[in-house]
């Protein structure tokens, strides 16, 4: 009679990879052996090994770089849903190196959705800032911010690959962001988003949208972002 408790090949492959990381004292961002070498070491077929790798990718233990291989992931960032800290602050408090790239920074006309969120007339001039942000050169999220252009004239002269948006708004324009609301859901990357994040098209990501207000409770920023769930998690304190 077959042993009904026999470990599945994929689960065994997961254990082998995790043990390899521990035994070799691998650090975050160190590269694993190639799939071919791992199959040879542990006598797995390619499909079993890939299934194990996909599971560890989903759990945030590993990450892929397109064309480069599979690497050990760093511990996830924790984003507190009850504060309005910028991504810059979250990364710095975790003791990690911030990575940021400006995709676009331009003036657009307010759409119906933006006008509704910022209480502005349709067609009003809006600053749109799109950035890819991450840790240690690994892209984690795509963040799009919309701000009333009249409240931050000249903001396009700042380099937001090195400057914090919230920091500039407060220090240069006197806009201190102190409260807001946000919603979380799951979505899937399109071709452009997948390219920017270095992942497969159609991969599941966390979709976040919200509005942040100043001390006078006036809406200053409407934002949308998508984040790779293997690198960041969202937490909140529940009080009865």
- The listed range with the strongest mean pLDDT (83-92, 211-220, 231-240) is 211-220
> Which of the listed residues 72, 91, 120 is the one where a domain comes to its end?
72
3-state percent breakdown (helix, strand, coil) of the chain, nearest 5: 30, 35, 35
Is pLDDT of 8 > 70?
yes
State percent of the chain over pLDDT 90.
Answer: 56
Report pLDDT for 239: 57
Please give the model's pTM, rounded to 2 decimal places. Answer: 0.69
Q: What six digits make up the tokens of 84?
A: 């309005």
Number of independent structural domains in the chain: 2
CATH of the domain at 107: 3.40.1410.10
Q: How far apart are CA 189 and CA 204, in angstroms?
A: 7
Instruction: Give the domain range for residue 14.
Output: 9-72
Q: Is residue 195 part of a domain?
A: yes
Question: Which of left, alpha, beta for 123 (phi over 0: left; psi -120 to 50: alpha)?
Answer: left
Judge if 59 and 94 occupy the same domain.
Answer: no
> Which of the listed residues 40, 72, 104 is the one where a domain comes to its end?
72
**Mean pLDDT to the nearest integer, 87-106:** 78
**Mean pLDDT to the nearest integer, 10-29:** 90
Judge if 205 and 110 occupy the same domain.
Answer: yes
Judge if 18 and 136 occupy the same domain.
Answer: no
Q: Residue 53: phi, psi to the nearest 5?
A: -65, -45
Q: Is residue 4 part of a domain?
A: no
Judge if 36 and 152 occupy the same domain.
Answer: no
CATH of the domain at 31: 1.10.10.10
Residue 222: partners with Cβ closer than 8 Å, 6 or more residues away: 114, 117, 118, 145, 146, 147, 210, 211
Work out the number of other CB atoms within 10 angstroms of the CB of residue 52. Answer: 25
Give per-residue pLDDT as tens, 51-66: 999 988 877 788 888 7
């Amino acid at each position: 009679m077959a042993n009904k408790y026999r470990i599945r090949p994929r689960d065994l492959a997961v254990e082998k990879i995790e043990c390899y990381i521990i035994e070799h004292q691998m650090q975050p961002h160190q590269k694993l052996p190639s799939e071919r070498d791992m199959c040879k070491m542990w006598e797995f077929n390619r499909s079993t090994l890939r299934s194990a790798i996909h599971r560890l990718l989903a759990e945030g233990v590993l990450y892929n770089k397109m064309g480069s291989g599979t690497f050990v992931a760093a511990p996830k960032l924790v984003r507190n849903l009850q504060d309005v800290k910028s991504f810059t602050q979250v990364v710095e408090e975790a003791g990690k190196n911030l990575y940021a790239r400006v995709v676009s920074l331009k003036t657009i006309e307010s759409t119906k959705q933006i006008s509704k969120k910022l209480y502005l007339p349709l067609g009003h001039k809006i600053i749109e800032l799109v950035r890819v942000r991450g840790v240690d050169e690994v892209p984690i999220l795509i963040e799009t911010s919309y701000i009333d252009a009249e409240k931050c004239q000249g903001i396009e002269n700042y380099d937001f690959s090195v400057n914090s948006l919230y920091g500039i708004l407060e220090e240069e324009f006197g806009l201190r962001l102190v409260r807001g609301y946000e919603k979380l859901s799951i979505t899937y990357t399109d071709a452009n988003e997948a390219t920017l994040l270095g992942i497969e098209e159609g991969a599941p990501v966390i979709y976040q949208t919200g509005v942040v207000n100043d001390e006078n409770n006036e809406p200053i920023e409407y934002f949308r972002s998508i984040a790779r769930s293997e690198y960041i998690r969202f937490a909140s304190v529940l009080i009865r």
